Amino acid sequence: MHLVIINASPRVESKSNTARIISTFVKGFEKSGNTAEIWHLSDKKQWFKAKELYEKNCNILFAIPLYVECVPGIMLEFLETLQPKKEFGTKMSFILQGGFAEASQLRCGEEYLEILPSYFNCEYNGTLIKGDNFAPAWLPDKIANKFVSNYEQMGRIFAVKGTFSKEEVNKFAAPEYFSEKEIRKHKRIGGKIQKLIFRYISRKNGCRKPLDDKPYSVE
């Protein structure tokens, strides 16, 4: 199978968590002799080629960071350049990733992706969802790669089955919600550790303001 992957992240490729996820996924996907090519919407010069490949290929995968509960604006803008396929049969698959760790946070975005292919006369071919992907862009490469390493196995499975099955995705994306015990633990200690990490990252990036600074006045 040849897969055309469109990275719908607006973030530049070198800092894109979605790009990192795609590369890892492709490693697994290509193990069994499949091929894939990747195009990035963050680079407007790649839009024409991505559009052309959408028209000529019948296996398209959009890899998407969740932006305010759905796909980012840049992806909607790109979609406006596409025409519905004349013949039914193109499979549209999705990888949807987000920062919050619970799978339940991605369900609203997933629901839209179930609808979207019909607007292009394409077949919905499943969505691989997973959260807890905020950190990699802010971490050294070695640690960041570990964060997303489990996508390689999902690439292998996708190569064999040709689709994302709900059952496997749900297992991969768990937990759906945190347990009460985990929430209590976060309130007790996890939240404090998170704050320290965020402050450390911001300082390292030259930020000298508190992260809850209010630069604009509210009337």
Partner 1 sequence: MSILVLNTLSESNDEVLDLQNQICMQSEGSEVVYTKEMKISHCIGCNYCWLKTPGICTIKDDYEIIFKKILKHGKIVFITDTKFGFVSYQTKNLIDRILPIATMYLHFVDGQMRHVPRYDVRPQMGIIYTGKAEHAYLEKWLDRVTLNFESTSIGVFALEEGRGILSCI
User: Minimal distance in Å, beta carbon 7 to partner 1?
Assistant: 12
Q: By CB under 8 A, is residue 14 in contact with partner 1?
A: no
Smallest distance, Å, CB 126 to partner 1?
A: 18
CB 42 within 8 A of CB 10: yes
**Minimum Å distance from CB 49 to partner 1?**
20
Give the CA count within 13 Å in the CB-facing half-sphere of 151: 26
Alpha-carbon distance of 205 to 197, in angstroms, equals 12
Q: At what angle do helices 166-173 and 151-161 cross, to 10 degrees?
A: 180
Q: Report the alpha-carbon angle 91-93-96, nearest 5.
A: 165
Query: According to the binding rule CB under 8 A, does residue 175 interact with partner 1?
Result: no
Residues 115-134 that bind partner 1 (CB under 8 A): 115-116, 119
Sole binder of partner 1 in the list 72, 126, 136, 155 (CB under 8 A):
72
Task: Please tell me whether residue 69 binds partner 1 under the rule CB under 8 A.
Answer: yes
Q: Between helices 17-30 and 151-161, what is the axis angle to 10°? A: 50
Tell me which residues in 199-218 interact with partner 1 (CB under 8 A).
201-202, 205-207, 209-218
Q: Based on the shown chain and the rule CB under 8 A, indicate whether residue 195 belongs to the binding site for partner 1.
A: yes
Task: Report helix, strand or coil for 150.
Answer: coil
| Token pair belonging to 175 | 């937990």
The whole-angstrom separation of Cα 25 and Cα 85 is 26
Residue of the chain from 14, 33, 45, 80 that contacts partner 1 (CB under 8 A)? 80
Nearer to partner 1, 73 or 170 (CB): 73
What Rg do the C-alpha atoms of the chain give, in angstroms? 19
108 lines the binding site for partner 1 (CB under 8 A)? yes
CB 25 within 8 A of CB 57: no
Count of residues that bind partner 1 according to CB under 8 A:
58
Among 22, 38, 65, 159, binds partner 1 (CB under 8 A): 65
Which residue is listed with tokens 């919407």? Answer: 41
Pick from 42, 90, 93, 97 the residue near partner 1 by CB under 8 A: 42
Q: Residue 7 forms beta bridges with which residues?
A: 40, 63
Binding site for partner 1 (CB under 8 A): 9-12, 15-16, 42, 65, 67-74, 76-77, 79-80, 100-102, 104-105, 108, 111-112, 115-116, 119, 137-138, 177-178, 183, 186-187, 191, 194-195, 198, 201-202, 205-207, 209-219
